[in-house]
Chains A and B, each alone.
Chain A
Amino acid sequence: MTLDIIAIYATIVLLVIGAIFTFVAAIGLLKLDDSMTRLHAPTKAATVGIGAFLLASMAHSFVLGEPSFHELLILAFLFVTAPISANFIAKVNMHKRACETPPAPKHDAMWSTFDVPHADRDAQSEAAK
């Protein structure tokens, strides 16, 4: 009985936390005014929001009387992959010159993100002729 009450209130609190974070992420995605700043909002806040929803689902399984921790798997997957996809989107922004380019590297000619793949070099020099 007591565990039920605790689980229900934990579900409520986690649902509220998840809703707040997801909404903040959506507002940030819509209102921020630069590609790179827009990248901040959904990749961090939305991940935390969905994590709170998954934890709420886990707390709700205690209310149902059949406790399970399966959601931790999805949680771990989301938290591992969110920085990777954010890094890829940041590289797309740099590639598209949608942001300030970072200062040149010390030992190489250019950042590898701006480099042309080997297979395309011939085609590029052909087009330049």
Chain B
Amino acid sequence: MSFALDLMNWMLIAGFAVLSVSQLMAMVRLVIGPDTGDRILALDTMVLNAIGLIVLLGVAQGTRVYFEVTLIVAMLGFVSTVALARFVLRGDIIE
């Protein structure tokens, strides 16, 4: 039992590390991305990784207060991706 709990805590730390490294790699793509599409894609990936970090924070602290935060970040990420893409495509977000 305690072995499993220890293993879970180690896996949580490993998940935090992997998500942080992924966030940094997406940030590199955001800076060097040769085209606008790559930058929008990098931002989309960063939002996904941020959702993962918030979820892991909720698991690590054992609370359920981060559920609403995750939902709002997910919605905002989708809307911002679509808004950026539409701005590039049409020069306007709501025509």
Interface residues, chain A, CB within 8 Å of chain B?
Answer: 4-5, 8-9, 11-12, 15-16, 18-19, 22-23, 25-27, 29-30, 35, 38-39, 42-43, 46-47, 49-50, 53-54, 56-57, 60-61, 64, 66, 68, 70-71, 73-74, 77-78, 81, 84-85, 88-93, 95-96, 98, 113, 117, 120
B89 touches A113 (CB 8 A): yes
* Closest CB in chain A relative to B67 CB, distance in Å: 5
**Residues in chain B near residue A56, CB distance under 8 A:** 55, 59
B 27-84 contacts with A by CB, 8 A:
28-29, 34-38, 40-42, 44-45, 48-49, 51-52, 55-56, 58-59, 62, 64, 67, 70-71, 74-75, 78, 81-82
The interface size bin for chain B is 35 or more
- Interface majority SS (helix, strand, loop, mixed), chain A: helix
Complex Cα gap A109–B9 (Å): 59
Residues of chain B having any CB pair with chain A under 8 Å: 1, 4-5, 7-8, 11-12, 14-15, 18-19, 21-23, 25-26, 28-29, 34-38, 40-42, 44-45, 48-49, 51-52, 55-56, 58-59, 62, 64, 67, 70-71, 74-75, 78, 81-82, 85-86, 88-91, 95
